[in-house]
């Protein structure tokens, strides 16, 4: 007797449920997607006990007649595809015909539905695959599916459910994704009778983001759009100061479907390179529209992953669109002040604000070095200030800008609508980095012969790394030659890095090449080298600058492509807007 048997249909459904119905949130997602496919304009989701007791999704979509209601919960039943050719170019969220059957195999279901043409509504109940008959009832057009006591006959799976709060967190996440992709729908989410969200379909996506997350996030998004080769991209890009420690805040939608894709994440990361520190992740909402035939959704049971037929085009277009916008936008970090204070702290805040207002009344305007030093001497133990003015020549009246260097590290300068504090090292690093990148892309860096060659010793591995990267070293304008056993000498060094010590630079370069040259492509390696070079050649913190040096720095800042962040992504500038200052000093 053979051992192999054919499983009965309910077993098949229960196994399928293992893939599709991971937890209550998966049920919420599948039911909401069915509502959207049914053309609903309003969806109400009601949850009890994190979805363990009840998940109910009600919509005003096209509804089902009695026959469809009877077959919807059978496995492999769908109205969305008919032939194999339909799999190429799926425009609906669902198509597998598995969700309702899977859900009905692991919970108690009650579904009520009415089409607009039928005189009455119908309902059906199913208890873990045990299906009752369809019977008439009264209800409005649309469909309501209630799912009770999920996994109650599968104690092993029920045991794995987390606390109501955790499960509700997952449900809210799915609700959020669907709400972002469908800002034209009225959407409501209740938990244990309490309303968590009531979103109006008249909102635009920014208002929706403000309600789903916070007004702060919504206000710090930069919009950009591109439309080429049948690919439409709309993105809301978070400013670097609202970045996160993980990539949860990257919402990518493909024709209304939330997806995760490593190529798209890579394009986003590349677009922000240099505007964010490496361990930070940007907040991004990316909406991609492309022909349904250009990708395959039939690769993952929950369809969170898809397969693109032309990944390179997608990657380069996203990267281009996002990067162009980010480079063209001033991304200065805004100084943050506490938004709301309780009355105690408010009083204290008020006192500080008053004292500061008084101070500035007395010691304003700071115009000359002498005046500033005499004023500052009274208040600071060790005054280390340098102050000056920069005259910007512009069409029309000349604009006078004041600035001062504090603690030999930061430059405070007036801006059109407030003032900025600049980290002199970080800004100079960015300026040198951009300069280096520009020059090296058009040829090799100009170099200068050293009067006396500087020699250093190497291990064999280091010598190999140097040989392997000879071309890169030459492009940098560094002339190296063997100088005895295990010894090399630097004969020429790039002029632009005049401030760096050749030997010190060579050591760091060799370390970097030995560590990284194997793992990085040529472009990234060059970028790392330029980063390192810029850091070495830049003005240091603690270095006193003359007025003309500061003027030069501020003028270079105006010309830089991305002056707001250093090449490692740390901010170079913090801005204090006049509006915020007035608010803090209680002038408004």
| Residues that bind ligand ADP in the complex, under the rule CB under 6 A | 30, 34-35, 37-38, 59, 61-64, 72, 77-80, 94-101, 143
Nearest to 59 by CA among 30, 26, 36: 36
The entry of ligand ADP, Mg ion, none that residue 62 binds, CB within 5 to 8 Å by partner kind: ligand ADP
| Residue 288 CB, nearest approach to Mg ion (Å) | 22
DSSP letter at 244 equals B
- Cα 350 to Cα 338, 354, 355, 439, 586, distances in angstroms: 12, 6, 9, 52, 8
Smaller CB separation from ligand ADP, 301 or 418:
301
d(CA 58, CA 194): 16
d(CA 89, CA 96): 14
| Residue 128 CB, nearest approach to Mg ion (Å) | 19
Smaller CB separation from ligand ADP, 100 or 436:
100
Query: Which residue has tokens 């309303």?
Result: 195
The entry of Mg ion, ligand ADP, none that residue 64 binds, CB within 5 to 8 Å by partner kind: ligand ADP
Q: Give the nearest residue (CB) to ligand ADP.
A: 94
Q: Is 11 left (phi over 0), alpha (psi -120 to 50) or beta?
A: alpha
Smaller CB separation from ligand ADP, 36 or 465:
36
| Residue 257 CB, nearest approach to ligand ADP (Å) | 13
99 near Mg ion (CB under 5 A): yes
**Under rule CB under 5 A, which residues in 56-95 are in contact with Mg ion?**
94
34 near Mg ion (CB under 5 A): yes
| Residue 111 CB, nearest approach to ligand ADP (Å) | 8
Strands 410-415 and 399-406: antiparallel
Q: Give the nearest residue (CB) to Mg ion.
A: 94
The entry of ligand ADP, Mg ion, none that residue 323 binds, CB within 5 to 8 Å by partner kind: none
Smaller CB separation from ligand ADP, 86 or 474:
86
Give the pair of three-digit tokens for residue 11.
């077993």
| Residue 141 CB, nearest approach to Mg ion (Å) | 19
The entry of ligand ADP, Mg ion, none that residue 80 binds, CB within 5 to 8 Å by partner kind: ligand ADP
For 430, counting Cβ atoms within 10 Å of its Cβ (0-12 exposed, 13-18 middle, 19+ buried), the class is: buried
CA 258 to chain centre: 15
The entry of Mg ion, ligand ADP, none that residue 77 binds, CB within 5 to 8 Å by partner kind: ligand ADP
Angle between helical axes of 205-212 and 164-181 (0-180°, round to 10) = 170
- Asked if residue 64 lies in contact with residue 272, where contact means CB atoms within 8 angstroms, the answer is no
Smaller CB separation from ligand ADP, 57 or 581:
57
- Asked if residue 24 lies in contact with residue 167, where contact means CB atoms within 8 angstroms, the answer is yes
CA angle 471, 477, 478 (to 5 degrees): 80
| Residue 94 CB, nearest approach to ligand ADP (Å) | 2
| Residue 200 CB, nearest approach to ligand ADP (Å) | 21
Tell me the site size for Mg ion, rule CB under 5 A: 3
End-to-end CA distance of the chain: 89
d(CA 583, CA 571): 24
Give the pair of three-digit tokens for residue 52.
């363990």
Smaller CB separation from Mg ion, 14 or 387:
14
The entry of ligand ADP, Mg ion, none that residue 143 binds, CB within 5 to 8 Å by partner kind: ligand ADP
The residues binding Mg ion (CB under 5 A) are: 34, 94, 99
């Amino acid at each position: 007797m053979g051992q192999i048997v054919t499983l009965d249909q309910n077993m098949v459904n229960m196994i399928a449920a293992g893939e599709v119905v991971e937890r209550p949130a998966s049920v919420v997602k599948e039911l909401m997607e069915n509502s959207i496919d049914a053309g609903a304009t309003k969806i109400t989701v009601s949850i009890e006990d994190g979805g363990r007791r009840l998940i109910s999704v009600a919509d005003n979509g096209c509804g089902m007649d009695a026959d469809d209601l009877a077959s919807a919960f059978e496995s492999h039943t769908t109205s969305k595809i008919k032939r194999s050719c339909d799999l190429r170019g799926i425009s609906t969220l669902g198509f597998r015909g598995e969700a309702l059957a899977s859900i009905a195999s692991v919970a108690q279901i009650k579904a009520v539905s009415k089409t607009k043409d039928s005189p009455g509504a119908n309902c059906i109940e199913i208890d873990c695959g045990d299906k009752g008959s369809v019977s008439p009832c009264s209800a409005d057009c649309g469909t309501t599916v209630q799912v009770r006591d999920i996994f109650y006959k599968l104690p092993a799976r029920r045991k794995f459910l987390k606390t109501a709060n955790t499960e509700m967190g997952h449900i809210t996440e799915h609700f959020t994704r669907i709400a972002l992709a469908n800002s034209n729908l009225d959407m409501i989410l209740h938990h244990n009778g309490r309303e968590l969200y009531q979103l109006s379909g008249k909102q635009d996506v920014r208002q929706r983001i403000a309600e789903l997350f916070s007004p702060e996030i919504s206000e710090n998004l930069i919009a950009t759009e591109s439309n080429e080769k049948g690919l439409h991209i709309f993105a809301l890009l978070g400013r670097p100061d609202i970045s996160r420690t993980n990539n949860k805040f990257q919402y990518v939608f493909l024709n209304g479907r939330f997806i995760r894709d490593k190529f798209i994440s890579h394009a986003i990361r590349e677009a922000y390179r240099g505007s964010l520190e490496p361990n930070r992740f940007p907040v991004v909402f990316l909406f991609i529209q492309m022909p349904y035939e250009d990708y395959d959704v039939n690769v993952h049971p929950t369809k969170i992953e898809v397969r693109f037929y032309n990944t390179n085009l997608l990657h380069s277009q996203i990267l281009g669109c996002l990067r162009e916008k980010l480079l063209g936008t001033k991304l200065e970090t805004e100084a943050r002040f506490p938004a709301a204070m309780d009355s105690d702290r408010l009083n204290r805040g008020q006192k500080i604000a008053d004292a500061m207002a008084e101070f500035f009344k007395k010691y304003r305007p700071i115009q000359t070095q002498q005046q500033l030093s005499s004023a500052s001497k009274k208040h600071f133990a060790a005054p280390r200030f340098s102050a000056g003015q920069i005259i910007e020549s512009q069409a029309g009246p000349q604009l006078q800008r004041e600035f001062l260097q504090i603690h030999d590290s930061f430059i405070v300068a007036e801006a059109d609508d407030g003032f900025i504090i600049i980290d002199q090292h970080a800004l100079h690093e960015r300026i040198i980095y951009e300069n280096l990148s520009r020059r090296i892309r058009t040829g090799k860096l100009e170099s200068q012969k050293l009067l006396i060659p500087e020699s250093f010793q190497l291990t064999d591995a280091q010598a190999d790394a140097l040989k392997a990267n000879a071309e890169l070293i030459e492009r940098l304008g560094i002339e190296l030659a063997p100088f005895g056993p295990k010894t090399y000498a630097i004969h020429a060094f790039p002029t632009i890095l005049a401030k760096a010590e050749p030997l010190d630079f060579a050591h760091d370069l060799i370390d970097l090449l030995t560590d990284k040259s194997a793992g990085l492509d040529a472009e990234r390696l060059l970028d790392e080298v330029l980063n390192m070079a810029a850091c070495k050649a830049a003005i240091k913190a603690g270095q006193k600058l003359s007025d003309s040096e500061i003027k030069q720095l501020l003028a270079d800042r105006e010309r830089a492509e991305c002056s707001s962040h250093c090449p490692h992504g740390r901010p170079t500038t913090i801005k204090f807007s006049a509006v915020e200052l007035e608010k803090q000093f209680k002038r408004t």
